[in-house]
Amino acid sequence: MSDQVIELTEVDEGIIQIKMQDKVNKNTFSDALTQGLIEAFETIKNQLQYKVVILTGFDSYFASGGTQEALLYLSDGKGKFSDTDLYSLALNCPIPVISAMQGHGIGGGFVMGLFADFVILSRESVYTTNFMKYGFTPGMGATFILPQKLGIGLAEEMLLAAKTYRGGELQQRGIPFPVLPRSEVMDYALDLAKTLAEKPRVSLVTLKDHLVAPLREKLPEIIEQEVIMHDKTFHQPEVKDRIEAFFGQ
């Protein structure tokens, strides 16, 4: 596994933590981070001693979405975001996943976190689904999971306007997740994980399977629809210009 950018640690009995720490790329979906995440979740799937996963980042970064190179690659029509399935790793993990978003969640990084069973945000951090900032329609299952988790009103605003929000602003908008000072996010996540880990693993797996079954069933159809929208919107010359001009701002 890519130890440099993914740290897999048993933090307590039955609790495994995935820490994304690609400091060079600020937790954008570099090849190393992407492959490391896939390998980490595959490892966890085969380790029956674990009952809950904590997914988190480093310092002020949770996950920052696609790299500029990857976006330009898609804009040139050389691939599709669905070629690599990061978006459903947490959803398809057999045991509950806690997204401890202690840092910024940008674009696909924020979306990936929302597919977890539990989401915790930081007041200070920035969260955005900024796909339309670059002129292409959202991917990664964003058009599905945002309305499911945040409600249709806020989801449409975040997706269409591509605005940036602090966690504290989202808390004021009534999102149904804990929003805490950054320094408290991990403690909260660990306390929650310990509460979950008190339960029998088979019961956790069985109940998660039941609760997320509609999401797992519907997601492939949504991904197909998002790919079709990308075929219409991603290859515009303006999109490539925007990616080159605005990336990282």
Alpha-carbon distance 240 to 235, whole Å?
8
Contacts (Cβ under 8 Å, ≥6 apart) of 246: 133, 134
Angle ∠(164,62,67) on CA atoms, nearest 5:
75
C-beta separation of 44 from 53 below 8 A: yes
Q: Residue 31 in contact with residue 74, Cβ under 8 Å?
A: no
- Residue 60 tokens, joined: 């002020």
The DSSP code sequence of 128-191 is E--GGGGTS---TTHHHHHHHHH-HHHHHHHHHH---EEHHHHHHTT-SS-EE-HHHHHHHHHH
Contact 54, 60 (CB under 8 A): no
* Contacts with 78 (C-beta within 8 Å, 6 or more apart), sequence order: none
* 230 counts as catalytic: yes
Give the C-alpha separation, 64 to 192, whole Å.
25
Catalytic residues: 230
